[in-house]
Chain A
Amino acid sequence: MSDDLRVIQTDSPPAEGACRTQGFGSPLQLSEEHDLCPGCGEPVALRAILDAVETLDLAQRAIGVVGIGCYTALTSLIDLDLIQALHGRAPSVATGAKRMRPDSLLFTLQGDGDMVNEGLQEVIHAAARGENVTCILLNNGVFGETGGHMTATTVLGQRTKNSLEGRDAAYHGHPILIADLLSRLGGAGYVARASVHDAPGVARARRYLERAFESQMKGEGFSFVEILTMCPTGWFVPTAEGPGYLDDVLAPIHQLGELKRDGALVEPD
C-alpha cells in the first residue's frame, strides 16, 4: 500500500459536522443546512440544477426522480415534486411518470454508482427509446455514500477503498465513459458533460442543464447532463484539494463539453 494514501475515517459522519452553505440558497431550497462533507461537489451541482429550473421558469412543472447516494439527503431540502426511486432505478420511474405527465419537466438525479453500476441498462434503454426526460448524473468516480469505493467510472490509477493501489485495467477493468456511450444512441438528442470544480465550470453546468431542459420541453427526446463533482472524502484528499484532483484526475478522462446537440454529434475542438 502506498504511504501517501491518507485514509480519512468514513465509517461515520464527518467529525467536522454539518456544512452550512451560507448565502448559497435558491428560492427552490427549503433549507440550506445539510450534512454532506465540507468540499463536496454535490450541493453545488444541485444548486445549478435548481437555478436552471428557476431560470426557465419550470418550477411548477418539474418532477424529479431521485436515486440513492449522498445527494439523496439533499433532496429533503428541494422544493420540487419528487419521487424517491431505488438505487439504480430512476430512469424507468421517470419514464412512467413522463408518459402520464407529458407536459412536465421530468429529470432524474443519480450518482455514478447508481446509474453506471447498479442500473446501467435503465439509462441506456431510456436513451435508446428517446424517452423525453433529462437524466442528470453526479459523477465523482466513487460510491461516496458507502465510503469511497470503486465504481464503473473510477478512472485508471484512481485509488479507492477497494482499489487501494489505484484502479488497474488488468485487474479491475476499464472505466465506462457514460456520456460518450449515450451520445451514440439514436434516441439521445442532447448529451453534455460539465463539472463544478470552479466558477466557469459551474456556469457551464448551468448552461448545459438549461439546454437539456429546453430540449426536453421542445420534445426532442432523451437529454443527458453529466456533472463531475468533488468527493474529497471518497478520494482521500484534503478538502481544499478536491477541485484540483477533479481537474487533474477525472476531467482528462471524462472530458468536459457538449457531445451531442439537436440530435447531432458535436465534433471535439
Chain B
Amino acid sequence: MSAATSRRLMEGSEAIAEAAIAAGCRFFAGYPMTPFTELLEHLARRLPEEGGTCINAESEIEAIGMAWGAAATGARAATGSTGQGLSLMQESLSEITRAEIPLVVFNMARGQGDYFQATRGGGHGDYRHIVLAPIDASEAVAHTQLAFDLADRWRHPVLVMGDYLLAHTSEAVAVERVAFDPQPSKDWAVDGSLGGSGRSRNLNPIGMEKGSKGIDPDRFWRRLQEKQDRIEAAEPRHETFATEDAELVVVAYGTVARFARYVVQELRAEGAKVGLFRPITLWPFPSEALAACTAGATRVACLEQNAGQMIDDVRLAVLGRAPVVPIGGISTDPAGFGIGRLLDAAVVRGRVEAALAGRELDTGVVV
C-alpha cells in the first residue's frame, strides 16, 4: 500500500485496520458494538480487497469461534469487541490460550472499567493474556503489528486495548510496516495434510494427545504455566517521563495517559517535581520498572478512569514503600461510552496538583 509510508488523516479504527492488514491479518470476524463498530466496518471493506475474509458473525461467541478456526490453520486472524462482547468471548479466549493458538483481539473498551477483565485472564482457568495499551493512533499502528508478532511467537492470545477516543479520533497517521525477527514455522497449524501419516495434529485445549487415552491435566497446565512465566519475564513494556527526581509519580495507561503526559509536562515546565509512569503492557504489568522508578518518590498517584482497578497492580509493585493514592474515578458520558469529564487536561491538572499537595480527592465520581 502506498499510504504505508505517508501520513494520512484517519480515525484510530481505520489506522488499526490498515495496520492489521500490513501485519498480514487475513481473517476477521465481529459483531457491531460501539466503539468497536468502525474497526469491523473498515475490515469488512478492506480485507476482501486484500484477498482476506471478514465475517459478520451471529454473535461475539461465533466471532471468536471463527477467528479460532482461522488462526488454527496458521492464518493471521483477529476478532474484537467491547466489554459486553468480550464477556461473551471469555470461554473461548480461555480455551484458545490453552490450545496455544495465536489470536489477536481488539478490545475497544468504554472507558477503563474493563482493566480487570483484560488483565486477569477474564474467563475460567489459570491463564493471562498479553495486553497492549496504546496511547494514540500512531502507537496503535505499532501495537497492532506487535500483537500479531507476539501472538505467533508465543502461540498466545494478545489483546490490544483501545477506547472510544482512540477508535474515533482522526489523526495524521503513517501506517508503516514494522520489521520483526523471523518467526518459527507454524508446523503446529492444521492444514489437513497429515491425515493417515501417524503424525496428524490435534489443536487441543484440554491436553488430549494423539494416540493416547486420557489426559494428564497437571502436566499440561504446568507446561502452559511455565510458558506464561517466560512471557511475564520477557514482555513487560513501559514508558517513563521525568521520573528520575520525581516526588510524585503519576501512573496512567492508554488514552488517560495522554492527558496525564500533557499535564505532567506542563507542571514540570513550571518546576513541579512530578513524573509519569505509563504501563504499555497491562499484562505482564511492568512491576519491576515501576518499583525502580518510584523508589525515591514520596507519593504515587494512580490515574485511571474507573473505581480503582490498576491501582491493585500499582500497589503490588510499590509494596508500601510510598503511599499510592487514586486520583481518577468513574467518569463517563450519558451514553456510557467512557467520554467523561476526567478526559480534560484541566481536570487532570487539578487532580495531579491535589496529589502534589497531599490533598484527599473524591474518586467515587469525577465531577
Chain A positions within 8 Å of B, measured between CB atoms, are: 27-28, 30-31, 33-35, 53, 58-63, 65, 72-73, 75-86, 89, 91-101, 104-105, 121-122, 125
Contacts and interface: CB of A to CB of B under 8 A. Distances in A.
B347 interface: no
Interface size bucket, B side? 35 or more
Interface of B: 26-27, 29, 53, 55, 57-59, 61-75, 77, 91-92, 95, 99, 190-198, 200-206, 208-214
26 contacts: A59-B196, A61-B195, A76-B209, A76-B213, A78-B200, A79-B200, A80-B196, A81-B194, A82-B190, A84-B208, A86-B91, A86-B92, A89-B92, A91-B62, A91-B65, A92-B69, A94-B69, A95-B69, A96-B68, A97-B73, A99-B53, A100-B75, A100-B77, A105-B192, A122-B58, A125-B58
A33 to B, nearest CB: 7
Contact of B196 (A28, A77, A98, A104): A28
B211 A96 contact: no
B150 to A, nearest CB: 21
A95 B63 CA distance: 10
Contacts of A78: 200
A61 B197 CA distance: 12
Contacts of B191: 63, 81, 101, 104
Contact of B210 (A33, A76, A95, A104): A76
Given A76-B210, A96-B68, A125-B58, A86 B196 contact: no
A93 to B, nearest CB: 4
Given A59-B196, A79-B200, A30 B211 contact: yes
A77 B211 contact: yes
Nearest to A78: B200
Nearest to B209: A76
Given A61-B192, A125-B58, A96 B198 contact: no
Contacts of B63: 92
A81 B92 contact: no
B72 A93 contact: yes
A62 B74 CA distance: 15
Contacts of B210: 30, 76, 79
A132 to B, nearest CB: 13
A82 B210 CA distance: 10
A224 to B, nearest CB: 17
Closest 5 CB pairs of A and B: A92-B65, A96-B69, A96-B70, A59-B195, A97-B69
Nearest to A129: B55
Given A82-B201, A86-B95, A27 B55 contact: no
A147 B72 CA distance: 32
A81 B204 CA distance: 11
